[in-house]
Structure 1
């Protein structure tokens, strides 16, 4: 099944991001049929592989709001049905599903100083787009236990690069960030992506292409304008 799922996701530029088996009854939401879920598979993107499929889909023209979320659902719902899975999305809710907790159970990701997950290979250039709940165990490989690359990074350029010090020990000041990015001095972040995120040396070869960077930044700014 997992090989077939990889093959189905590949044209979308998405990938299976790991998964896990439920530890007990009630550990996972119920399937659409009302039965207990036995396992969860996380689906997402790595680097810029997803962007060409999304850009070619016409979703930016077809959907006035949340085009990436809506395209993701449009593309993945049929695949979930093909494999007898119930698809859940981070944009579902309320109640919202614990995608970050599931991700930490599924693969070796860790919270970075920027408060987003860092992967030991892909760095900060990845995301989780959906979870497929299954009634069976698909035969997943055990989760690898790899330490966070941030542990051995003493320079922490991600924290020192932000022009307005939006990342602090108290968290992320999204208002300060948005004011800078949307202002006259924020064009570099606005057009090419967050300077702090780009400063991380891990997984730079997986950085998003400029068009994807600009799309995500516009999505961040839009509700704050």
Structure 2
């Protein structure tokens, strides 16, 4: 693999500066080996690297909310995806990259990229847990390049869930969706359709997610929690 160049380092700084006003951060880099499965660039070649872009805690909420106030009501069925594209695509164009988004086919393996780039592992809820940010982070897009780039984020050391004996996330779930070996999406969604579910998790955010002590200071603001829960198709 070709080593990242000084030009690559400059590209990283340009991207960081462009994303900062929008509350978005470079979360990590995956450099692909020759012959390894990689996403395609706009010209059909396989990418040599991808850089993940995402939020930390509620970092994007104010910029997104301000943008949303300028958009006509009902113009977008998923305003956060629309905002993400409107924010990230110009950055991709400016640095000669290809933009990828979790909402677009062909579905890119964002979770696999994140585990590889940041060393994260899934929590019992299925959400990747970060040792500093806990469950309060996300990935809004990625940029693909025809050259390798240097590190753009910090790698996790250890898995927070391994050192958590109490596991309050599991006992906090009113639907007992975490009682089995895997998170039971059906039980979760069924509970959200009840009066108790609508008054609890749907109105205030997932109770199991809130019970996790890791990264509690990065918890999303109430408005953002309500937005994400309201976006669920029940």
Aligned to 1:109: 120
Q: What is the alpha-carbon distance in structure 2 between the residues aligned to residue 68 and residue 201 of structure 1?
A: 27
Alignment of 1:50-65 (within 5 A): 50-58=60-68, 59=71, 61-65=73-77
Runs of 4+ in 1 over 4 A off after TM superposition: none
User: Is structure 2 residue 22 aligned with structure 1 residue 12?
Assistant: yes
Residues 13-22 or 139-148, more deviating:
139-148
Give aligned pairs, total. Answer: 221
RMSD (Å), alpha carbons: 1.8
Q: What is the alpha-carbon distance in structure 1 between the residues aligned to residue 51 and residue 169 of structure 2?
A: 30
Aligned to 1:47: 57
Aligned to 1:185: 196
User: Structure 1 length as normaliser, TM-score?
Assistant: 0.92
1:72 equivalent among 58, 64, 84: 84
Structure 1 residue 174 displacement after superposition: 2.4
Q: What is the alpha-carbon distance in structure 2 between the residues aligned to residue 176 and residue 26 of structure 1?
A: 38
Q: Deviations over 1:83-110 (max 9, x none)?
A: 11100111111x3111111111110211
2:40 equivalent among 20, 30, 39: 30
Q: What is the alpha-carbon distance in structure 2 between the residues aligned to residue 173 and residue 141 of structure 1?
A: 34
Change (3 A) 1:89 1:141: closer
Q: Deviations over 1:63-118 (max 9, x none)?
A: 3411111111111111111111100111111x311111111111021111111100
Aligned to 1:174: 185
User: Is structure 2 residue 90 aligned with structure 1 residue 85?
Assistant: no
Q: What is the alpha-carbon distance in structure 2 between the residues aligned to residue 142 and residue 219 of structure 1?
A: 29
